[in-house]
Structure 1
Amino acid sequence: MKTKYAQLLAFFFLTTTRAEKSISNSLCAFSCIFMIFCLLASNYQKNGDFIMQSLLNGKHDRNLREDLHPTIAAFMIAAPLLNDLFPQDLTIGVSDTDKLLVSVGSKTIPPLSDGYILQTGDGMYEAVRDGEMQSTILPKEVFGFPVQANAIPLFDQDGIAIGAVGVASSLEQYNNLYDIASKLSVAVEQVTATIQELAGSVTSFSETMYFISEQSNSVLQSVQEIEKVAKMVREVSDHSQILGLNASIEAARAGDYGKGFSVVAQEIRKMAGNSKEHTETIRNTVSKINGLISQLHKSVSKSNAESESQSAALEELAATMQEINHNTNSLAEYAERIIKS
């Protein structure tokens, strides 16, 4: 008997997986009381009917009979008190090998009727039959929410199963947690997809701004070339003015012979003057264009830097959302394992 009880307690305290922990946690305190009543049962051999008589004389004498094994009687007395030891809402039942002796209901799970005949498929029936712990999940169609049901056999001093204890707890909170985690996971995936799309747009915008920056540099270089040409034209115009002036002087010295040349000299000076004016207009225009392109280049460079910063921030945000999504999926898987354990 001690070996079988030790195996059951080893299951409670030495489990490793989360699914097993969800079962063992719901029976951990129960197992402590179980050990105490096992000691009571073992002492019964030495103390005769004293323990049973004490139980019968107590306040919790419902359905107690003198022919009950002390272990079963002890659990019948402890059953109403077990709910106070757990944060979960539990329904607890104690049976002999044939029928339910006591059933303590919870706020969410109604109790079975005392005297209920155990049937094939019942956890306590199979615990007594197989001499092993039984665990099952009742679908939400039974109570409106999933229920975790566990049952352990009770043995006498010879190791023979004499009854069982069953505990049922609602998995509604875990089921709600699973639903919330699943919905959150979908929402996070959508947000992550949007962030990645936005990051792609920012990257594309950054590339476009870089292209514009390169083109503005090319235009700026072309404008500078135009400015150089305009400067050369102005220098030619100035020289033409000087040449026209010299030609007019020489034409005046030549008198009548230089009249025709004087007309040519005046036209040269006139053309030089017009060239100078047009060159000045070109220079002013080029100077304005040069200023605008320089300002555009600065703005493009600033926008490009901001786009790169935003792209890096979005990539970091996307990585964070992926981590959140991973944790959310882990939470959903954990809740699902608890529900299915």
Structure 2
Amino acid sequence: MKEKIFENEILESFHQTVEHIQELMSEPTAIFITDTTHYRYTAHVEGLPFQTKADDPLKQFVKEVIQKGEYFEDVIEAGGPFAFPFKSVILPIKDENGRPVGGVLMAQSLRKRHEMTELAETVRSALDQITEAINDLNVKVQEVVETNGYVLKTVEESKENTQNTDEILAFIQDISSETNLLGLNAAIEASRAGEFGRGFDVVAKEIRKLSSSTSDSVKKVDEVLKGIKGSINTIDEKINENTEVYETQAASLQEIAASIQELNSSVQMLYSFAEKI
């Protein structure tokens, strides 16, 4: 038991138990016990570099708080020799007659709260950046999906046009066949006419030549169109595959964004928790 220095029982109780009080605190806490004019006992801690000593006079503000007998609390921001903010408390003590006899002053480090708040701010800032990046990416993915939709529509129209071309080629092929038949009939008639059918025979040959040329051209065009249709079908398949991939990515991005929103809520809870420390 320490030597008694206070007549007032409450002040002396604080004096005798100050080390235990410090042990109960969640963060390092300096404790000062005063009478109405001077510091009488000081218990310093590491991290709070106060220069106050026993028998130092009280500052006017502290005197006024003790005289008023009203509890005072404030948070002092970091600065000067103090690397972290701390909570300042003044607990005025009165005797049995209600007269002020001194006070208990506490300065509790808020290092943990400060570090937790900074951590929460860092996490939130990182989440905000990730969210912004995801939103930008999601917009671009949606733009690609939309563009693919337009391209797919154009491809479908091209497929329809090539099918229409097939019908035209079939029609031309029919004409070519009929022309060839007409030329064959003309040749037969020219042969029957003998000497008088020579001119008609020339016409018949030209008709058959035209028919053959038309038929060859139709076949070449048909081959080209088949190649085009094959390419269009390949493009169609690839666009559909890519669209499915992008739609899946868009859904995944939305899920990630939802998860980040949940993390933001957790960070807000961390802020709230830090404020209560």
TM-score, length-scaled by structure 1: 0.73
Shift of 1:245: 1.7
- In 1, Cα distance between equivalents of 2:185 and 2:49: 124
- Rounded to whole Å, the distance in 1 between the matches of 2:11 and 2:104 is 9
Q: Which residue of 107, 113, 122 maps to 2:53?
A: 113
Deviation readout 1:55-87 (Å, 9 max, x if unpaired): xxxx311xx24x712222221110122222223
1:160 maps to which residue?
99
**Partner residue, 2:257:** 318
**Aligned match of 2:25:** 86
How many residues end up aligned between the 2 structures? 275
The amino acid across from 1:82 in the alignment is: I
1:134 to 45, 57, 72: 72
Cα deviations by residue, 1:23-70 (Å, 9 ceiling, x for unpaired): xxxxxxxxxxxxxxxxxxxxxxxxxxxxxxxxxxxx311xx24x7122
1:102 to 41, 58, 72: 41
Alpha-carbon distance, 1:310 to partner: 2.3
Q: Does residue 150 of structure 2 align to residue 211 of structure 1? A: yes
Partners of 1:260 and 1:139 lie apart in 2 by 116
In the alignment, structure 1 segments of 5+ residues that lack a partner are 1-58
Q: Give the superposition deviation at 1:333.
A: 7.0
Counterpart of 2:15 (choices 76, 80, 83) is: 76
What stretches of structure 2 of length at least 5 have no aligned partner? none
- Secondary structure at the aligned position of 2:146 is classed as helix
Please state how far the C-alpha of 1:191 moved relative to its aligned partner.
2.6
Distance 1:327 1:139 in 2: 26
Contact kept, 8 Å, 1:102 with 1:114, in 2: the verdict is yes
Q: What's 1:266 paired with?
A: 205
- Find 1:292's aligned residue among 231, 235, 258: 231
Identity %: 25
Give 1:219 deviation, angstroms.
Answer: 0.9
* Paired amino acid for 1:113: K
Distance (whole Å) between structure 2 residues aligned to residue 85 and residue 242 of structure 1: 113
SS at match of 2:60: coil
Aligned-pair Cα RMSD in Å: 2.4
Alignment match of 1:144 (pick from 75, 83, 105): 83
Q: Residue 242 and residue 254 in structure 1: after superposition, are their counterparts in 2 closer, same or farther (change >3 A)?
A: same
TM-score norm. by structure 2 comes to 0.88
Report SS of the residue matched to 2:253.
helix
* 2:2 paired residue number: 60
* Distance in 2 separating the partners of 1:338 and 1:116: 33
Which stretch of structure 1 is more off in the superposition, 75-84 or 132-141? 132-141
